[in-house]
A and B are shown apart, each in its own frame.
Chain A
Amino acid sequence: MTTTNDTAAQKGITVALDGVSFSYGETSFHFDAEFAAGRITAIMGPSGSGKSTLLNLIAGFETPDTGKVLIGGIDFGNAPPSARPVSMVFQENNLFAHLSVEANVGLGRSPSLRLGDADRAAVVEALARVGLTGKEKRLPRELSGGERQRVALARVLLRDRPVLLLDEPFASLGPALRDDMLDLVAGIHAEREMTVLFVTHQPEDAHRIGQDVAFLDEGAIAAIGPADDFFDRSGPDGFKRYIGDRGGTVAGSQHIARKRT
């Protein structure tokens, strides 16, 4: 059930929700979808449509009332979060405030922080990959918001799980910084080819790195398909209503997308 850490890189695997239903107070959700292996899917939709719930179900923070959560073909619906082949980056609180950058990343290798020399080297390497060389000993409060999310991504590298879930981790960053972070994610994806699901409210983000888009509405997946289909005039009606007249500007700003790594 658990993923192994000794393989060099975990290639992405499919994530599928098979008749998953879940209720949350008055609201109920129903998900039926398959996310292709090794692709980046942008999860979009109005507030309360179930984007975070979808990710929480896959990560194991919520348990479905019925249905299966298939990751690589295996039902993980009742497995605890740490036993799933999944890493997740939240909008905030990705780091333990009292632990150094190094320790926070090292937790990705050993939850009890028993690290050997090889593990330490891997931590240094991962931090270098996200551009934080030399900040190993810092505490999270000594870092900027963007740097903190980079630490979280370094830990994702170290955990090396085939599925990466991003729950608006860059929402509170400025536009330029957000683009940098998205490019970092795209770069990591290019190396590891994991399956990435990322929640975002910004069509630009979806357009920048999303290969597919899943559009959620009223607790269900209303549409799913290649990103390009969504952003041209033939996109689903609900999606067009959701992004409003920004569709045009996104299409007009395609030159940004071409900067993709």
Chain B
Amino acid sequence: MQSTLRPDSRITAGVVALASIAVLIGGAFIGLIVEGAHDLSGAAAAFDGYLLRVARFTLWQALLSTLLSVAPAILVARALSRHPAFPGRRLILQLFTVPLALPAIVAALGILALYGRAGYFAGVFARLGGGEWPGIYGLSGILVAHVFFNLPLATRLFLEALGTIPADQWRLASQLGMGARPAFRLIEWPVLRAAMPGIAGLVFMLCITSFTIVLTLGGGPAATTLEVAIYQALRFDFDPARAVVLTLLQIALTFVVVIVLTRLGANTVGDANLPVAPRRYLSAGRMESVLNAGLIALALLFVAGPMVAIVLSGLGADLGRLAGEEAVRRATVTSAGLAFLAALLGVTLSLALIAARRALAMRRRPGGAMSLLEHATDTGAGFVLVVPPIVLGAGWFLALRGVTDVFAIAPIMVVAVNAVMAMPFAIRAIRPAYDAASERHERLCLALGISGWTRLRLIDWPSLRRPLATGFAFAMALSLGDLGVIALFGSDSVQTLPYLLLARMGSYRTADAAGLALLLGLVCLMLVVAADWLGREGRS
């Protein structure tokens, strides 16, 4: 049995990675607990009507957003699956992956440019409603934005589920002369129903932890969620006791949701894969075709609208002047640097966890139970989903505010939190490739004595560089567009592009904001397209 104790650098790396994550999350918790214990009466006093209202609104908007995203998504996914040869189908599906790449603040801006008080549609709405169009701040704005993000996501996931229906079932259905209705009831619905809890759960989770959308589109105490309330308590009211209570409430809420989701077998990380259209044997009737085409067109307009608005209003901005502005240049450099470091750190930590998990799994005899460490390397990154960036940031903000200048450590916080946030996605991109490569190479490396650095250089790097690049590009896009931690820690001296964008929006320099949004959106989109392309090439 001695060989099972042979040191393995991969396991050491995994332990170091887990420890780093534990320090990041643990530090935040300590900050919260110390602060809460310090001011118990303040914390107790924070349990007031406002807190309950905020908690209720958080759940209410998430529930509505989920309903409004998932129900239409079922119809649109079914329509797309029934018409594998629909004109532009591929393009539509590709367009549906764009919201995944788009930073929330950019999307918020696009929605405002379209439906806002001074938006492109304001005139139309004013004539329809009779009177001045008030814009879509508040609940309606939040819902529109959440549906913009989650309708395409849910559609793609449902389409993927429909793609799992074996071709034989369709062949059989067409042989039996099944019409659209019975085919839906007997073939499509069971698959959709099975996929629903997972997809609805994912959307609910995304909406409950949504920060940027609520910050930019929500308005006043009537439309505030826990995350935004944490931010306001720290940045504006400076009420640490309230921040602690809000944060604990948010953690409890996300924790419960994640537990329920895991029970439902939900996949808590959205995927960027494009489903391929399988061959269909059942053709839709004329009436159904017209209805489906209408559905798809509506969804397309809804999703494409804000994107077009971003481009149009962005081009309307004085891009030349913006590019020459010192603040913009500095923010661009800061953003690029921080996102690069965050992606590098995120991918490194992910790789360490993946390698350790694989090494531990190989040590385990078949049928043997997973050790605690193996469990941790398997699901460790998932815990990050329970603790939203704002919560992490708030914890560290409170812990460090007496010790150092919290605004000076902004770069470290942004890099660390964004790195960890990107890990679930990076792991999704890298792990299958790593495990497959290990499956092929493990014994051979052992037999030939190829290990350590040599193995990394000769064996692992060539087979992993594409998935690593995919994970890197995706992680970089995520952290480039993130406005979570930087909202708490940002200041005039440390500004990222999303932070600058928020500042310009706040000072009503809408044209500037639109120009910046276009720039940020394009960069993130290019990164995600690159990630997708790298991933696909790697697979073939």
> What residues make up the interface of A, taking CB atoms closer than 8 Å to B?
23-26, 59-61, 63, 65, 78, 80-83, 87-88, 90, 93-99, 107-108, 111-113, 159
CB distance from A24 to the nearest CB of B (A): 6
Q: Are B448 and A107 in contact (CB under 8 A)?
A: yes
Residues of the B chain whose Cβ atoms lie less than 8 Å from the Cβ of A65:
1
Residues of the B chain whose Cβ atoms lie less than 8 Å from the Cβ of A93:
439-441, 443-444
Residues of the B chain whose Cβ atoms lie less than 8 Å from the Cβ of A112:
450, 454, 458
Residue B220 at the chain A interface, CB threshold 8 Å: no
Q: Are B463 and A98 in contact (CB under 8 A)?
A: yes
User: Could you give 13 example pairs across A and B, Cβ below 8 Å?
Assistant: A23-B365, A24-B365, A25-B365, A78-B2, A81-B446, A88-B443, A93-B439, A93-B444, A96-B459, A99-B462, A107-B448, A111-B450, A112-B450
Residue B447 at the chain A interface, CB threshold 8 Å: yes
Which of B367, B446, B448 is the one whose CB lies under 8 Å from A108?
B448
Which of A26, A90, A111 is the one whose CB lies under 8 Å from B449?
A111
Residue B366 at the chain A interface, CB threshold 8 Å: yes
Complex-state Cα separation, A61 to B368, whole angstroms? 17
Complex-state Cα separation, A128 to B462, whole angstroms? 28
CB distance from B4 to the nearest CB of A (A): 7
Closest to A161 in B: B447
Q: Are B443 and A111 in contact (CB under 8 A)?
A: no
Residues of the B chain whose Cβ atoms lie less than 8 Å from the Cβ of A25:
365-368
Q: Are B2 and A63 in contact (CB under 8 A)?
A: yes
Complex-state Cα separation, A96 to B459, whole angstroms? 7
| Additional A-B contact list (15), CB under 8 Å, known A81-B449, A99-B462 | A25-B366, A25-B367, A61-B446, A63-B2, A63-B4, A78-B3, A80-B446, A81-B443, A87-B447, A90-B443, A94-B444, A95-B444, A98-B462, A98-B463, A111-B454
Q: Are B441 and A96 in contact (CB under 8 A)?
A: yes
Scoring A60, A82, A93, A96 by chain B CB atoms within 10 A of each residue's CB, the highest score goes to A96
Residue B6 at the chain A interface, CB threshold 8 Å: yes
CB distance from A58 to the nearest CB of B (A): 12
Scoring B441, B458, B459, B463 by chain A CB atoms within 10 A of each residue's CB, the highest score goes to B458
CB distance from B417 to the nearest CB of A (A): 36
Residues of the A chain whose Cβ atoms lie less than 8 Å from the Cβ of B440:
93, 97
**Tally of contact residues, B, Cβ under 8 A:** 25
Scoring B3, B446, B447, B463 by chain A CB atoms within 10 A of each residue's CB, the highest score goes to B447
Q: Mark B451-478, 1 if CB is under 8 A from A, else 0.
A: 1001000110011000000000000000
Residues of the B chain whose Cβ atoms lie less than 8 Å from the Cβ of A23:
365
Residues of the A chain whose Cβ atoms lie less than 8 Å from the Cβ of B443:
61, 81, 88, 90, 93
Complex-state Cα separation, A65 to B454, whole angstroms? 31
Complex-state Cα separation, A83 to B439, whole angstroms? 21
Q: Are B449 and A82 in contact (CB under 8 A)?
A: yes
Residues of the B chain whose Cβ atoms lie less than 8 Å from the Cβ of A78:
2-3
Q: Are B366 and A107 in contact (CB under 8 A)?
A: no
Q: Are B446 and A60 in contact (CB under 8 A)?
A: yes
Closest to A66 in B: B1
Residues of the B chain whose Cβ atoms lie less than 8 Å from the Cβ of A94:
444
Residues B406-431 near A (CB distance < 8 A): none
Complex-state Cα separation, A93 to B443, whole angstroms? 9
Closest to B2 in A: A78
Q: Are A63 and B3 in contact (CB under 8 A)?
A: yes
Residues of the A chain whose Cβ atoms lie less than 8 Å from the Cβ of B459:
96
> What residues make up the interface of B, taking CB atoms closer than 8 Å to A?
1-4, 6, 365-368, 439-441, 443-444, 446-451, 454, 458-459, 462-463
Residues of the A chain whose Cβ atoms lie less than 8 Å from the Cβ of B368:
25
Q: Are B447 and A82 in contact (CB under 8 A)?
A: yes
- Given known contacts A61-B443, A93-B444, A111-B454, is B3 in contact with A83 (CB within 8 Å)? no
Residues of the B chain whose Cβ atoms lie less than 8 Å from the Cβ of A159:
448
Closest to A65 in B: B1
Complex-state Cα separation, A99 to B459, whole angstroms? 9
Which of B6, B444, B463 is the one whose CB lies under 8 Å from A80?
B6
Closest to A83 in B: B449
Residues of the B chain whose Cβ atoms lie less than 8 Å from the Cβ of A88:
443, 447
Closest to B440 in A: A93
Complex-state Cα separation, A78 to B459, whole angstroms? 25
Residues of the B chain whose Cβ atoms lie less than 8 Å from the Cβ of A59:
447
Residues of the A chain whose Cβ atoms lie less than 8 Å from the Cβ of B2:
63, 78
Residues of the A chain whose Cβ atoms lie less than 8 Å from the Cβ of B4:
63
Complex-state Cα separation, A88 to B446, whole angstroms? 11
Complex-state Cα separation, A131 to B440, whole angstroms? 25
Complex-state Cα separation, A97 to B444, whole angstroms? 12
Residues of the A chain whose Cβ atoms lie less than 8 Å from the Cβ of B454:
111-113
Complex-state Cα separation, A59 to B446, whole angstroms? 10
Complex-state Cα separation, A60 to B6, whole angstroms? 13
Closest to A2 in B: B449
Complex-state Cα separation, A80 to B447, whole angstroms? 8
Complex-state Cα separation, A65 to B2, whole angstroms? 9
Closest to A152 in B: B444
CB distance from B419 to the nearest CB of A (A): 29
Q: Are A107 and B3 in contact (CB under 8 A)?
A: no
Complex-state Cα separation, A61 to B365, whole angstroms? 12
Complex-state Cα separation, A94 to B441, whole angstroms? 8
CB distance from B301 to the nearest CB of A (A): 46
Closest to A63 in B: B3
Residues of the B chain whose Cβ atoms lie less than 8 Å from the Cβ of A99:
458, 462
Closest to B366 in A: A25
Residues of the B chain whose Cβ atoms lie less than 8 Å from the Cβ of A82:
446-450
- Given known contacts A25-B366, A88-B447, is B3 in contact with A113 (CB within 8 Å)? no
Which of B6, B366, B463 is the one whose CB lies under 8 Å from A24?
B366
Residues of the B chain whose Cβ atoms lie less than 8 Å from the Cβ of A108:
448
Closest to A87 in B: B447
Closest to A79 in B: B3
Closest to B439 in A: A93
Complex-state Cα separation, A220 to B381, whole angstroms? 44
Complex-state Cα separation, A24 to B443, whole angstroms? 18
Complex-state Cα separation, A26 to B6, whole angstroms? 25
Scoring A23, A24, A82 by chain B CB atoms within 10 A of each residue's CB, the highest score goes to A82
Complex-state Cα separation, A95 to B444, whole angstroms? 8
CB distance from A259 to the nearest CB of B (A): 32
Complex-state Cα separation, A107 to B365, whole angstroms? 29
Scoring A23, A65, A94, A111 by chain B CB atoms within 10 A of each residue's CB, the highest score goes to A111
CB distance from B459 to the nearest CB of A (A): 6
Closest to A56 in B: B443
CB distance from A112 to the nearest CB of B (A): 4
CB distance from B500 to the nearest CB of A (A): 43
Complex-state Cα separation, A63 to B1, whole angstroms? 6
Residues of the A chain whose Cβ atoms lie less than 8 Å from the Cβ of B449:
80-83, 111
Closest to B463 in A: A98
Closest to A103 in B: B458
- Given known contacts A60-B446, A88-B447, is B365 in contact with A80 (CB within 8 Å)? no
CB distance from B179 to the nearest CB of A (A): 48
Q: Are B446 and A107 in contact (CB under 8 A)?
A: no
Residues of the A chain whose Cβ atoms lie less than 8 Å from the Cβ of B458:
96, 99, 112-113
Closest to A95 in B: B444
